[in-house]
Structure 1
Amino acid sequence: MTEPRYATAEEVAVVRERVAKVEGGHDNLRDGLATLSQQFSGLRRDLTRSVSDNAAQTRREVMARVDAMSDTAAERDTEISGRLSSIEGGLKLTSWVTMTFIVLATGLLGWGQIGDAAWSFCRRAFGYGP
């Protein structure tokens, strides 16, 4: 059997120095990861806020355009309704004038026939005609 070997004070010092370096590097890595995590959280928060702000702005712009289109459509509807009312009034007037003319013409023709018949009757009754 071989006898156990014991480390010298210098070797222990070297090992302690290496352990201290590794622990220091580990602490640096942990601090770096914590910093990166905080930066990532901040970036995510900023991106979320930016996306939300852009979405809200887009919604406002779209709604403003929709409102403008609705206003334009309402104006066109009002204009078209006015024109149709004007046309309808003109058609009613034209219809009334036409019907009045037809009634007057029919009446005059009827009275003309009555007059001709009376004239013919009077000529025969009083012997002035065939």
Structure 2
Amino acid sequence: MRVTTTFKDDYEFQSVNEEGNVLDIDMYSADKKKHMSPTQLLLSGLAACASVDLVQMLKKRKKTVNGLTVVADGTRRDEHPRAFTHITLTFTVDSPDVTEEEFEKMGHLAATKYCSVAGTLNSEVDHKFIVNRA
């Protein structure tokens, strides 16, 4: 998997994946913000990943899903690196045939076992940095 991120202007960047899908990113203050920041994208990725897994589990069990919302709340350290110290996912499902018990169990599995973003956040990732001059 590969994503290429390019500096556009000032505090704006653009990421493109291998399929050509484009995502704009910025680091402007809230009053000038047009796009999500990298840390907001991390929360979005986590929420989307858990959502996909949860909906697939519900559909596999022939449950009706009329809607699903996941709110990701994150708290970050004050000092650098300003990593997340706590993340809470709050799931709200609209389904006439999913019991509270089923929803809680599948939501937990989606967020802790099957979501690859959550798995990455809970692990030590071997990563390296390569710097090239243009």
For Structure 1 versus Structure 2, the TM-score category normalised by the shorter chain is under 0.3
Higher strand share: 2
Higher helix share: 1
Tell me which of the two structures has the higher relative contact order, counting C-alpha pairs closer than 8 angstroms and 6 or more residues apart.
2
TM-score normalized by the length of structure 2: 0.21
Task: Please identify the structure whose Cα radius of gyration is greater.
Answer: 1
TM-score normalized by the length of structure 1: 0.22
